[in-house]
Amino acid sequence: MPATFSIKNISKEIKMRFVPIFIFLFAFIIPLAAQTEKNLDNRYQLALSYEQAGQLAKAESIYRELYSLQPLNYLFFESLNKNLISQKKYENSIELINQKIVQTPQDVNLYGLLGSTYYISDRTEKANEAWEKGISLNPTNLLNYRVIANYTIENRAYDKAAEILNRGKKFSGDPSIFSMELGSIYSVNMKYADAANEYCSLLVYHPEQLQNVKARVAGILKGPGAQEQLIRSVKDFTRSAAKFEIYDLLTFLYQASGNYKSAFENVNVIEEKFTGNGTYVYLFSQEAFRNGEYEWAAEGYRYLINHYPNSSYALSARLGTARSLELTLDQKFTKSIETWKPYYKPVPLFKDEYQKIIDAYSQFIKENSGNALCNEAYFRIAEIFKDRIYDTQKADSVYKIIIGLPQAGGYSARSLIARGIISIKENNLDSAQKIFDSVLRSMRLEESETAAANFYSAKIEFWKGSFSKALKFLAPVANNYSTDYANDALELEAFINSAMKDSLNLYLFAQADLRAIQNKHKEAGIEFKTLSDNPNLFIINDFAKIKFAEMLIAENDLAQAINVLEEFTDSKKDAIFADKCVFLLAECYQYGTKDLLKAVKTYQKLLETFPNSLYFDRAREALQLLPTNNG
């Protein structure tokens, strides 16, 4: 039978013949295209390097070459245009952009660029014409307004930007669509009232933007007259738009300006109009507490208790009231003692007032027995006895109660640490060490609690003369810079390592150090002076001199303390922690003898001599508060 052929078979045969040809073409063309792209990229990188080197003409030549090879490549076009602008070849830029507009006449960005070139070259009228042409491509397209406005903002043509965005609002069903941008523009021009109106308008339609608005407002509050304008504008807005978010913004502004009285009054309006359950009063009090406005925090807590007794926050408010009053009194206490001194005699102040706060905490515990909030109340009572009234026996008894509570939480470890410190001051080191050991055996500790237990364990071993053991406890504390004990641990670690060969005199120093901790300043001072007078002790001698000066300061013998420190700073500039000595001397002048001129000179000496000192920032901050020769 003769063979038969079909079109299908012929097609298949033709395809098979062309397969090798296609394979050859792909094998040749694709690598060639890749190589071309690589060459173009290399040329582009070369142009960038020329620009960075300031050789703009050479860069321009390459950009023109690249753009002629790929006229549709927007990167090459944009780079060439930027290069021309940098060379102030504005006419060339205009010509280039107009050529591009012929290619893509509906590209609104090109009109933005064209307007920018005109604006930079001081042809404002032509710039406005170009920008308006970009908008006119589609006047109902909101994106066009935003794009062109961005170009005007880049050129700091803020009035034009505001005009464009306000016109764009007319074509939107959302009058607040450009409010965030307009608020920023008005802020830059210091038109804070207009900015506030825009932000309030935004909140009317988009209340979920409250936090973003607060962030924007917070960024402009330090502008000249900003607080007054913003508050007045937002307050006026509340009359036409009784929205919770507007009132909340007004509260935020009052608090940011430090006007807590008006803020509190506004909070009460919010409660009446919107919440009515005390929630916002509680939030106000919490914010005031966080910002250190303890009197207003207490005012808010008391108001909540009296007006919203059934609020879910009433219990926390009762505890918050006592805590706020305590911290208010603490501010008064701190101002009355010389906290600048490394050591100072513990003198109980405002005992009757602190007793009233203790009574408030005690009443809270009595009325809410078993509630977890009682743990904090107990702890606050113990801390007042320990650090304000200085009745360590009563403090210790309350700490014991806390430790025995079934769910004391973090207050248990903190109470143990406090009991350990009390034992140290009572010279019961063995008992203190057992307490700190029990803290370190706990599975749930904060970093600060672990650091405290390790540091005091190290100090106990140091005072006992077990220097190697002390170093083991110090290592984890010194290596964790996030806790308050790190610097002290580093200092003690360095001292022990430097002086451990002379273990006898190091032990004598440790004993004096223990007496200093126990507020036996005169006894400690005698022992430190003995060590400091021995010129053969080297490192121990230096440390003893500083400690001797600290004991003199504690005993208010400032004249002798200054003599010791001045002698040390003049002769021991390379000593370990000499910067600490200079800083202490500056504080003696500033707070002790009130010789501010000498204080300034001494702080300046520290900054110049010890630029890497741990005291550098503190010295700089002190200088900012002191009068100098320049006023």
pLDDT (tens digit per residue) in 388-438:
999 999 999 999 999 999 888 889 999 999 999 999 999 999 999 999 999
**Residues 22-60: tens digit of each pLDDT:** 454 444 455 545 566 778 888 899 989 998 999 999 999
In-domain check, residue 519: yes
Least confident of 166-170, 546-550, 599-603: 166-170
For residue 547, the domain's CATH number is 1.25.40.10
Most confident by average pLDDT, 263-267, 483-487, 627-631:
263-267
pLDDT class for 276, splitting at 50, 70, 90?
A: confident
Name the domain count of the chain.
1
Provide the pLDDT for residue 1: 42
Interval 243-248 mean pLDDT: 95
The identity of residue 372, as a single letter, is A
Tell whether 115 is covered by a domain.
Answer: no
pLDDT in tens, 12-25: 554 455 455 545 44
pLDDT of residue 6: 47
Average pLDDT score over residue span 564-582: 82
- For every residue of 171-221, which 3-state class applies, written as one string? CCCCCCCCHHHHHHHHHHCCCHHHHHHHHHHHHHHCHHHHHHHHHHHHCCC
CA angle 3, 6, 8 (to 5 degrees): 135
* pLDDT value of position 227: 95
Is 412 domain-assigned? Answer: no
Residues 6+ apart with CB under 8 A from 95: none
Banded pLDDT at 197 (limits 50, 70, 90): very high
Say whether pLDDT at 631 is over 60.
Answer: no
User: What pLDDT, on a 0 to 100 scale, did the predictor assign at position 34?
Assistant: 58
Tell me what pLDDT residue 275 has. 82
**Percentage of residues in the chain having pLDDT higher than 90:** 79
Residue 561 resides in a domain: yes
Global confidence as pTM? 0.77
Query: What's residue 7's pLDDT?
Result: 42
- How far, in Å, CA of 445 to CA of 483, rounded? 13
Residue 573 forms part of a structural domain: yes
Cβ-contact 607, 619 below 8 angstroms: yes
> How much is the average pLDDT of 74-82?
93
Judge whether 566 lies within some domain.
Answer: yes
| SS3 labels along 43-103 | HHHHHHHHHHCCCHHHHHHHHHHHHHHCCCCHHHHHHHHHHHHHCCCHHHHHHHHHHHHHH
Q: Which residues contact 578 (CB under 8 A, 6 or more apart)?
A: 568, 569, 572, 610
Ramachandran quadrant class, 609 (left: phi over 0; alpha: psi -120 to 50; beta: rest) = alpha
Distance of CA 220 to the CA centre of its chain: 18
In a domain, 590, yes or no: yes
pLDDT in tens, 159-180: 999 999 999 888 887 778 899 9
Q: Residue 370, by phi and psi: left (phi above 0), alpha (psi -120 to 50) or beta? A: left
The pLDDT of residue 629: 55
CB 540 within 8 A of CB 502: yes
The answer to whether residue 598 sits within a structural domain is yes
Query: CA quadruple 252, 258, 262, 267: dihedral positive or negative?
Result: positive
Predicted confidence (pLDDT) per residue in 85-139, tens digit = 999 999 999 999 999 999 999 999 999 999 999 999 999 999 999 999 999 999 9
Which residue, chain included where needed, has tokens 């205009």? 94
For 409, the 3-state DSSP assignment is coil
pLDDT at 10 over 70: no
Looking at every residue in the chain, the average pLDDT score rounds to 91
Mean pLDDT of 236-246: 91
Domain enclosing residue 581, as ranges:
512-625
Using the predicted structure, report yes or no on whether residue 511 has a pLDDT greater than 50. yes
Full DSSP string of 113-143: HHHHHHHHTT-HHHHHHHHHHHHHTSTT-HH
The C-alpha angle 544, 547, 551, rounded to 5 degrees, equals 130
Is the distance from CB of 314 to CB of 278 less than 8 angstroms?
yes
